[in-house]
């Protein structure tokens, strides 16, 4: 079993989930509470990875972070090393790719918080940020957990995008799905099915425990 690849995938999924939590929560908040009319455009952009083929996304990311784009060149000047074929490059791709899996559950949950509670808090002089922290977040644990778990699981199983931007470097960009694919290509079907089975079981356990947690008493029941 390719433990290097498995560990890499776990690190990538964890890092992507942390980044998505950091940018997904404010983004979901903005989508739900902003009065801007054109916010549907932002929602559509966030949802794009759901429908775009990973190869398309992967190719855009490859070109977008490469030395032919201003972003790629600026990063290479600052960091002394380009983004393609690095863990950081893969992280950017994963964050884009898993974005809807974090932002959509967050936004749905934020939107379902009783408006009257928010207005009560605001009229008591509590700032919107503080209201968000003390009212919206505690009432949205369910959606936050769902978003976190889906981002993690989705990044763990990511294939097409990694194939396009990774370059298959052991310990850097050879994730577990690439390792399985390589095993199949090398006709090592036994190794491929061992790793696949592990991935299947892990994914199932992650999802099953999330859904079971959502039923348990320590999470507030839905109104």
Token output for 53: 């083929």
Min CB(3)–another protein separation in Å = 18
Tell me the per-residue interface mask from 84 to 123 with another protein, x by CB under 8 A, - otherwise: xx--------------------------------------
Q: Does 184 bind another protein (CB under 8 A)?
A: yes
Euclidean distance between CA atoms 138 and 50, whole angstroms: 28
Q: Which helix (H) or strand (E) holds 26?
A: helix 3-33
Rounded CA-CA distance 101/72 in Å is 26
| Identified binder of another protein from the candidate list 56, 141, 145, 169, rule CB under 8 A | 169
What is the length of the chain?
Answer: 223
Least distance from another protein to the Cβ atom of residue 76, Å: 9
Give the interface size with another protein as a residue count (CB under 8 A).
23
By CB under 8 A, tell whether 59 contacts another protein. Answer: yes
Distance CA 112, CA 123 (A): 20
Angle, helices 176-185/189-215, rounded to nearest 10 degrees: 150
Q: How many whole angstroms separate alpha carbon 40 and alpha carbon 36?
A: 9
User: Looking at residue 213, what DSSP letter applies?
Assistant: H
34 binds another protein (CB under 8 A): no
Which segment (18-26, 40-48, 80-88, 123-131) binds another protein by CB under 8 A? 80-88
Binding site for another protein (CB under 8 A): 59, 62-63, 65-68, 81-82, 84-85, 163-165, 167-169, 181-182, 184-187
């Amino acid at each position: 079993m390719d433990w290097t690849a498995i560990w890499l995938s776990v690190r990538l999924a964890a890092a992507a989930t942390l980044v998505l939590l950091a940018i997904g929560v404010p983004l979901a908040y903005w989508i739900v509470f902003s009065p801007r009319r054109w916010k549907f455009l932002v929602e559509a952009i966030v949802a794009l990875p759901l429908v775009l083929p990973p190869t398309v996304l992967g190719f855009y990311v490859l070109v977008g972070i490469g030395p032919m784009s201003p972003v790629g060149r600026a990063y290479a000047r600052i960091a002394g090393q380009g983004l393609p074929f690095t863990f950081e490059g893969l992280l950017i791709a994963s964050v884009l790719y898993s974005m809807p899996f974090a932002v959509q559950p967050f936004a749905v949950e934020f939107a379902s918080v009783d408006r009257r509670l928010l207005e009560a808090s605001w009229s008591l002089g509590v700032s919107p940020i503080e209201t968000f922290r003390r009212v919206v977040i505690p009432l949205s644990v369910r959606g936050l957990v769902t978003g976190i778990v889906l981002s993690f699981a989705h990044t763990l199983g990511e294939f097409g995008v990694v194939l396009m931007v990774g370059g298959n470097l052991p310990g850097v960009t050879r994730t577990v799905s690439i390792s399985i694919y390589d095993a199949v290509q090398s006709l090592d079907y036994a190794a491929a099915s061992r790793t696949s089975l592990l991935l299947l079981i892990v994914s199932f356990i992650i999802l099953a425990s999330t859904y079971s947690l959502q039923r348990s008493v320590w999470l507030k029941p839905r109104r």
